[in-house]
Amino acid sequence: MSETPAVITADLGPCAAAFITRIHGKPAAVINERAGRSTELRYQAVCALLGAGLDAGLIFGALHGVRR
């Protein structure tokens, strides 16, 4: 059974939308905080996180949090 990744935000610059990594052996997704304002980065983040195996509900919640 795989673990649900923690989702955090960071300033990744104008080009990187999101990435998946491991922090202390646990999966973590990092979403660019600019994805809250950029439609292009938001779409790229969704594609990257879906491809990494996150479910749509977790992605939607993370992006909703970024937009606040």
Taking only the tens place, the pLDDT of each residue in 29-65 is 888 989 888 899 989 988 888 877 788 888 888 777 7
For residue 19, being part of any structural domain is answered with yes
Taking only the tens place, the pLDDT of each residue in 12-35 is 999 999 988 888 888 888 889 898
User: Do 51 and 17 touch, CB atoms closer than 8 A?
Assistant: no
For residue 2, being part of any structural domain is answered with no
- Compute the C-alpha angle 62/18/43, nearest 5°: 75
Dihedral pair phi/psi, residue 15, rounded to 5°:
-115, -30
For residue 5, being part of any structural domain is answered with no
For residue 1, being part of any structural domain is answered with no
For residue 54, being part of any structural domain is answered with yes
Structure tokens, 27: 């999966």
For residue 40, being part of any structural domain is answered with yes
Domain boundaries, position 62: 12-67
For residue 3, being part of any structural domain is answered with no
Structurally, the chain folds into a number of domains equal to: 1
- Single pTM value for the model: 0.74
